[in-house]
Structure 1
């Protein structure tokens, strides 16, 4: 079994390496190590991700695709998600995600009883589908709100330039609501202080 970690961020403003230490710490708890890291700055809403494709090409049956959360792997539409899952299943790869506890059984003591194995596999697959669908729904909802926000900002004469990254915007908003400082928010999201300040200001103007 080779553990292949996939780390993704949407834009170059975000630090795709941010979760590396968390993934290392997670697998070390099972006395395992990560064989390879595949890191890229690409939207999770697209199948055109060279590093993810390379991971799949280099994987063998029994290998593990490790991610911090399912939304790092996919924000794909239902049809594109089916395409990705088909590729994963065809290669015989197991998906393990820190936010999907049932997937952790891949590294632990999986029941030897065939019936229980089937039940747990079915539950894991169902939860994986739910998280994938939720990630896509959240992406579309943020996209809708972002477009509405841009229209409002344009009407107020506040918006100029390219559309900000949706995922970074959402994460900054979440950490802001949780009371994180500008420095802590920038570190957690993997962006600059100026980006955090700019997004916070825009959020305040749109309230």
Structure 2
């Protein structure tokens, strides 16, 4: 499946807005790894949109995809929360059970996580949750001058019992956040996202 995705990106295709999305592919550190530089072309202008690292899987090591270097703006328009961001996530999400997405430039997600919003209910985390990733982890852990990367990790599961436990765990995390936070606006957003998340997965469990 990942090989098909790489081929599609190398050939390039038009977005809904008529922009050309294409990628240059390079060999990674080992045979199963592919690096992609993804560009967006508007007329004669071409702008680097993001980088992607794809691991095709090997033995008992599962495949994964990492998206990083995402631009806050593309041709003067916001990227995060846009149709273009949805296109990128929709493009990669079906091809992996493990997806890492950097949020360094995503100010809304960064702010919500800093306020204590559970990762799956942050702006970006919720986008991953809607695409089947029932477990979302924040990899940013400040440690003085040694800091982890600003990225979320999404994990899928086909095990309904694991899915149920993840949702119950998220419910407890939300309850703890609601008790500790004094930001009513952010609390309301987190509650609404959880209701949608729970409803989506109740439907998929039937």
Q: Which has the higher strand share?
A: 2
Q: Which has the higher contact order (CA 8 A, sep 6+)?
A: 1
Q: Give the TM-score of the pair, scaled to structure 2.
A: 0.28
Q: Give the TM-score of the pair, scaled to structure 1.
A: 0.28
Q: Which has the higher helix share?
A: 1
Larger radius of gyration: 1
